[in-house]
Amino acid sequence: MATGSLGSDWPDAGSASWIWFPDQSGVPAPAWITKGVLAHRLQGREGLPIHVLMIEDDPSIADMYRLQFEHDGFRVTVATTGEVGFSTLSGQAPDLVLLDLLLPDRSGFEVLATLNERFPTHPPVVILSNYGEPSMIDRGRSLGAIEYLVKSRVTPSEIVRRIPAWIEQGGGGGPGKS
């Protein structure tokens, strides 16, 4: 027998540089936290902050996620088209790609297929879409996306909580790693 309780998003674990408490605007996190217990979670390659590439053309969604990610100490690059996403990947490779499916220049599936071709060791890709059709989920996964989430069913904080696991799961990246 169990009585349920509200699974609140509060407080969201902490961040690289700020820790939140109720009724406070946040305090800097002590160095031992960032370098110790949470280091694995919060740091990407070569000890730098985790770098998330969000390929998303809707600015209201991109801004919202940027707010959450930056708050949690991640580095965020937003690409509004698939092409901009590719140029980001050829520069500073991110640790994770969050990919929308409905983009102005091509579909997210095409972006993913091109990623597999042009960047065989690309970082893990998580699809974030407004579409939840089973056929699309299957297609996304068969193209190597490690997760397919419907945007309206998740909050940015839930995404943040799952990012470290995705990065770990993605490992070297590329299709077939899901």
Partner 1 sequence: MTQAVVLAQDLTAAGFVALGAAIAYHWYRDRGRAQAKLALALISLALVAALGRLPSSPLLSVVVIVAFMLSGYFVLMFRNEFIPLRRTLYRAANVLLGVSILAGILDVTLLQRANPILVTLLGLVLITAWAIFTGEPIVRFWLASNGVPAVQRARMRFLSLGFAVLIAILFVDVLGGSRLQSPTAIIVTQVLALAVVPIIYVSLAPPSLLRRIWRMSEENALRDAMQDLLIHSPSREALADRAAFWAVRLFGATAGFVVDPDGKVIAASGIGRDQATRLAANPGQSGAIVRAPLHLTEGQGWLCVIAGDFTPVFGTEEVSQLRAYANSVSAGLQRVGVTERVAGIEKNKTQFLNLASHELRGPVTVMRGYVSMLQGGLLGQLNERGRQAAGVMAAKVSEMNELIEEMIEAARLEEGALTLRTADADLRQIASSAADAVTPLLDSRHRLVLDLPDRRVRVKVDADRTKTIIANLLSNAIKYSPEGGVITCQVRSRAGVARVAVTDEGLGIPRDGLPTLFTRFGRVITPETQHLQGTGLGLFLGRQLARMHGGDITVATIEGKGSTFTLQLPAGPPPNGASDGAAQAAKNRIGPDAVKR
Interface residues toward partner 1, by CB under 8 A: 1-12, 20, 22-25, 58, 60-61, 64-65, 67-68, 71, 130-134, 150-153, 155-157
Closest separation between CB of residue 128 and partner 1, Å?
A: 9
Sequence-distant (≥ 6) Cβ neighbours of residue 20 within 8 angstroms: 11, 12, 14, 26
Task: Name the residue nearer to partner 1 (CB basis): 33 or 61.
Answer: 61
Task: Name the residue nearer to partner 1 (CB basis): 12 or 110.
Answer: 12
Closest separation between CB of residue 18 and partner 1, Å?
A: 10
Alpha-carbon gap, residue 119 to 12, rounded angstroms: 33
Alpha-carbon gap, residue 98 to 89, rounded angstroms: 12
Tokens linked to 7 = 């699974």
Q: 52 and 69 in contact (C-beta within 8 Å)? A: yes
Task: Name the residue nearer to partner 1 (CB basis): 41 or 71.
Answer: 71
Task: Name the residue nearer to partner 1 (CB basis): 22 or 176.
Answer: 22
